[in-house]
Amino acid sequence: MNILQNISNGIKSNLEIFSFEDGITEDRYKKFAELSIFFSYCSSDHFGEDNNDIIKNFLLEKIKKIPADDIFKNPYMVFHIAMPYVFLRKFEKIDLFESSLKIMFKNNMFSFEVPPHRQMEWSFIKNKMGLQNKFKLCNPSILTQNIYVSSVNREIAYAISHSLFYITDFGVCPPPDNLLNIEKLKFQLECMIVKFYKENDLDVVLELSVNYFSLITLTELNFKILNIVDDCITKNSFLENKYFEKVFIKKYHSLFVIGILFSQLNNHLNNSSLSIDVRKKLEETLASTVFSGNKIQKEKVKKLDLGNSKEFLAWEALLQLKNKEMNKEVYTEYVDCFGVNYFLELEIISNLKLLKNRNENSLLWDRELEYFKLDKKSKKLLIKEYQNKIELEIKFHENMCKDEFIENPITIKTNSYAEIMVGN
């Protein structure tokens, strides 16, 4: 049994979780929308006997029961009702929704008080509807900012992953390389995947991995990222042979992302624009993971050793040089093993400049000053000595990567449009 059949079996056994006949709520529509998105990208023969038709018929039957009054109930709810239809219309177009969406677009029925990555959903919907073929990043957008990778939390990670979903058609297409610095994005995604793997946050690891593998036609990727994903799934015994309702409610979102990643990877295996060597390497890596199509859980869960991996050392170097002690032990090991990484240097410089600004404003040593009861003169001396030290450190790293774009965020041209090809 492959992953998609495993997930579709779980859906079929728990379809009522995604129903909203007992009353319209935002949460119920959200679940329904997520199932629609998953089904749109993952429906195939891999679902197993009858599962494909049963799930498709369920989705179409439910969405046809939504009355016009509910579609126009309020702007935020409109988004949740509109979203699933945009993904289901490739199976069957429904006049009520086609007409309603035209009115919604004409009257711009969407609250712009939500975060920018949520606003991007409207542009994405227009792309899916075939109403536009150009996509503009919101300004501000998380992708137009200089991201401090070592400080990214779960909320910011979701903002990044969802923004990338909308400009890559949930990983089906590569992101526009005239808008984004692809190599920098690749490095940041690798660091974040390691970070959330170490925090055992499977959902974020999965979403960022879909983003990561959307880059496969643009740059050389490290397929060992799949071993990280695989280990995160298996060490939590996340996939099960049978999903009872309480378990499925907790797991369904991550299961859907696993399914989308599985479909994305399988599409890459059949992508003739990728070299035979790349596809063979991907296939060999997949064979040792839950994505092999032959097994749901590995028989023996072997502890993943990340200690000397490039991504792990980069992340640990960032963490060490984020702190005021400026420990360079891991950084030195990284450079000795892999050479200078321009994007690692940029991240380090950003962190060092932040430390410098804190030191200049006496916001770096407050606890130590309080503990040691230093007088005013000693305090000034400590700040001055550290300032000299950190300026030398900044200069060292700037010399390692002299370039005019040191301060640039991930975007190259904030106001540029990009052609986005999405499936209508």
Q: How far apart are CA 52 and CA 71, in angstroms?
A: 27
Give the burial class of 48: count Cβ atoms within 10 A of its Cβ; 0-12 exposed, 13-18 middle, 19 or more buried.
middle
Q: List, in sequence order, every residue forming a beta bridge with 68; answer none if it has no partner.
A: none
Cβ pair 116, 140 in contact under 8 A: yes
Cβ pair 29, 77 in contact under 8 A: yes
Give yes or no for residue 72 having a pLDDT over 70. yes
Render pLDDT for 221-271 as a digit per residue (tens, 0 to 9).
Answer: 999 999 999 999 998 889 998 999 999 999 999 999 999 999 999 999 999
Cβ pair 52, 8 in contact under 8 A: yes
Q: How far apart are CA 348 and CA 297, in angstroms?
A: 38
Give yes or no for residue 368 having a pLDDT over 70. yes
Alpha-carbon distances, residue 77 vs 29, 82, 90, 121 (angstroms): 8, 9, 22, 14
Give yes or no for residue 402 having a pLDDT over 80. no
410: closest CA among 123, 153, 181? 181
The reported pLDDT for the residue numbered 407 is: 41
Its pTM stands at 0.89
Q: How far apart are CA 249 and CA 243, in angstroms?
A: 9
Q: List, in sequence order, every residue forming a beta bridge with 134; answer none if it has no partner.
A: 419
Residues contacting residue 199 through CB under 8 Å, at least 6 positions apart: none
Number of CB atoms found within 10 A of residue 54's CB: 15
Cβ pair 182, 343 in contact under 8 A: no
Q: Which residue has the tokens 């709810």?
A: 77
349: closest CA among 403, 310, 385? 403
| pLDDT band per the 50, 70, 90 thresholds, residue 422 | very low
The reported pLDDT for the residue numbered 75 is: 61
Q: Which residue has the tokens 């479909």?
A: 263
Give yes or no for residue 24 having a pLDDT over 50. yes
**Mean pLDDT lowest for which of 176-180, 331-335, 377-381?**
176-180
Helix (H, G, I), strand (E, B) or coil at 180: strand
Three-point CA angle 198, 199, 201, nearest 5°: 115
Q: How far apart are CA 117 and CA 211, in angstroms?
A: 15
Give yes or no for residue 313 having a pLDDT over 60. yes
Residue % of the chain over a pLDDT of 70: 87
Which two three-digit tokens encode residue 235?
A: 């060490």
H or E element at residue 245: helix 245-269
The reported pLDDT for the residue numbered 294 is: 57
Q: List, in sequence order, every residue forming a beta bridge with 418; answer none if it has no partner.
A: 135
Which two three-digit tokens encode residue 181?
A: 């610095």
DSSP string, 64-121: TT--HHHHTS-HHHHHHHHHHHHHHTTT---HHHHHHHHHHHHTT-S-TTS-HHHHHH
Which two three-digit tokens encode residue 202?
A: 């499977």
| pLDDT band per the 50, 70, 90 thresholds, residue 188 | very high
Helix (H, G, I), strand (E, B) or coil at 133: coil
Three-point CA angle 194, 195, 199, nearest 5°: 110
Three-point CA angle 392, 395, 396, nearest 5°: 85
Residues contacting residue 246 through CB under 8 Å, at least 6 positions apart: none
Render pLDDT for 131-160 as a digit per residue (tens, 0 to 9).
Answer: 776 666 766 788 888 889 999 999 999 999
Asked if omega into 176 is within 30° of 0 (cis), the reply is: no
End-to-end Cα, the chain, rounded Å: 30
Cβ pair 327, 320 in contact under 8 A: yes
